[in-house]
């Protein structure tokens, strides 16, 4: 059993879980982070990480945190939204055009998000990109009509994806992340969605044939720690953990973005065919964003946070437009 208290004598072991597999960029950088934290705290603080979903999906991870078996984890938007729902506003389809917009919005809204996590009992150590999300399928998809007859996976508890599928008239198959590979292999589902890097890390690309060349949404990631556990650590060591985590998670984000680009080429070399929607279909897909955002406002996230995000995004795009003239 895990200890319910994150300390042994005057030493503190922060137990984290993640869906990222052993050998992934996420795990490799976290080992480096742990080594530096141990060195700078003279061994007083260290991390113990359980990779590859060995402790279950993100719903399971949060449950284990609440009963004290672990103390935090690396989460995607799904888990983050279960802690603080307003962060889900960043997961709307076709919201961001590029990473510059993502970085600008996170810089503007981090204070709000950080405060939201803390009010719900968690400390935000930092963001870690998952990347832009693409459809992977066993049949070519270039339009909404191509969705017909295909069985789509949905991550259990994903309220944004659920709203998208409902709008498209699709009844998806809800599964936990660890079950997707087998579902693709057995034909339980025909379509999944992920970042290119995740598709390789999770081996989904080996059970699919096509990728739609249209980034559907941006997937956020972050590391959260139980606030009560973190506050047991001496303030000077808390500062070390926060500083080291911020630096390594920034590096992780940059590496992930680079590796996502490379991952597409790797998948193509292994036989994945890239399909492209028409410009008309792209416009039609993007119209979904406004409709879904309004439908989810004050249900999946607050209207106030949506309005704030859209205001920042509008200002940034106007600034970029003026700068390019």
Domain-by-domain residue ranges, the chain? 7-130+220-265, 132-217+267-304
Task: Give the Cα separation of 111 and 91 in Å (integer).
Answer: 18
pTM score of the predicted model: 0.92
Burial class (CB in 10 A: 0-12, 13-18, 19+), 43: exposed
In a 3-state reduction of DSSP, which class is residue 224?
strand
* The pLDDT of residue 7: 53
* The pLDDT of residue 2: 37
Provide the pairing of β-strand 131-137 with 217-219.
antiparallel
Task: Give the Cα separation of 173 and 162 in Å (integer).
Answer: 10
Task: Give the Cα separation of 144 and 295 in Å (integer).
Answer: 20
Tell me the CATH number of domain 7-130+220-265, given options 3.40.190.170, 3.40.50.1820, 3.40.50.2300, 3.40.50.300.
3.40.190.170
Are 73 and 87 within 8 A, CB to CB?
no
Q: List, as one string, the DSSP characters of 134-157.
A: EEEESS---SGGGGTT--BEEETT
Q: How many CA atoms lie within 13 A of 239 on its CB side?
A: 3
* The pLDDT of residue 304: 96
**Residues contacting residue 308 through CB under 8 Å, at least 6 positions apart:** 109, 112
* The pLDDT of residue 168: 84
* The pLDDT of residue 68: 96
Are 216 and 135 within 8 A, CB to CB?
yes
Beta-carbon count within 10 A of 310 CB: 16
Q: Which residues sit opposite 74 in a β-bridge?
A: 223
* The pLDDT of residue 9: 58
Its CATH class, for the domain covering 132-217+267-304, is alpha beta
Please tell me if the domain spanning 7-130+220-265 has the same topology as the one spanning 132-217+267-304: yes
Task: Give the Cα separation of 179 and 86 in Å (integer).
Answer: 27
pLDDT truncated to tens, each residue of the chain (325 aa)? 334 444 555 799 999 999 999 999 999 999 999 999 999 999 999 999 999 999 999 999 999 999 999 999 999 999 999 999 999 999 999 999 999 999 999 999 999 999 999 999 999 999 999 999 999 999 998 887 888 889 999 999 999 999 988 888 889 999 999 999 999 999 999 999 999 999 999 999 999 999 999 999 999 999 999 999 999 999 999 999 999 999 999 999 999 999 999 999 999 999 999 999 988 888 888 887 778 888 898 889 999 999 999 999 999 999 988 877 6
* The pLDDT of residue 325: 61
């Amino acid at each position: 059993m895990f200890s319910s208290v994150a300390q042994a004598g005057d030493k503190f072991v922060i137990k984290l879980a993640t869906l990222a597999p052993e050998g992934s960029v996420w795990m490799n950088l976290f080992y480096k982070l742990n080594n530096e934290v141990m060195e700078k705290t003279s061994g007083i603080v260290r991390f113990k990480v359980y990779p590859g979903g060995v402790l279950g999906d993100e719903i399971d991870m949060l449950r284990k945190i609440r009963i004290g078996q672990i103390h935090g984890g690396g989460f995607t938007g799904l888990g983050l939204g279960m802690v603080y729902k307003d962060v889900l506003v960043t997961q709307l389809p076709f919201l961001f055009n590029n990473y510059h917009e993502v970085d600008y919005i996170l810089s503007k809204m981090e204070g709000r998000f950080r405060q939201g996590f803390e009010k719900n009992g968690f400390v935000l150590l930092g963001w870690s990109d998952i990347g832009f999300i693409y459809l992977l399928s066993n049949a070519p998809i270039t339009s909404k009509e191509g969705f017909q007859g295909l069985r789509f996976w949905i991550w259990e508890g994903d309220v944004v994806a659920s709203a998208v599928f409902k709008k498209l008239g699709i009844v998806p198959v809800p599964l936990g992340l660890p079950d997707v590979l087998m579902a693709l292999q057995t034909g339980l589902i025909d379509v999944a969605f992920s970042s290119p890097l995740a598709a390789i890390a999770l081996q989904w690309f080996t059970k699919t044939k096509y990728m739609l060349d249209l980034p559907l949404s941006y997937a956020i990631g972050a590391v959260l720690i139980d606030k009560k556990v973190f506050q047991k650590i001496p303030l000077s060591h808390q500062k070390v953990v926060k500083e080291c985590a911020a630096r390594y998670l920034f590096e992780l984000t940059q590496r992930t973005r680079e590796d996502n680009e490379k991952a597409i080429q790797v998948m193509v070399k292994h036989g994945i065919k890239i399909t492209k929607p028409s410009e008309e279909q792209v416009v039609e897909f993007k119209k979904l964003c406004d409709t879904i955002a309004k439908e989810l406002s004050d249900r999946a996230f607050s209207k106030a946070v949506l309005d704030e995000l859209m205001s920042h995004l509008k200002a940034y795009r106007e600034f970029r437009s003026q700068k390019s003239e």
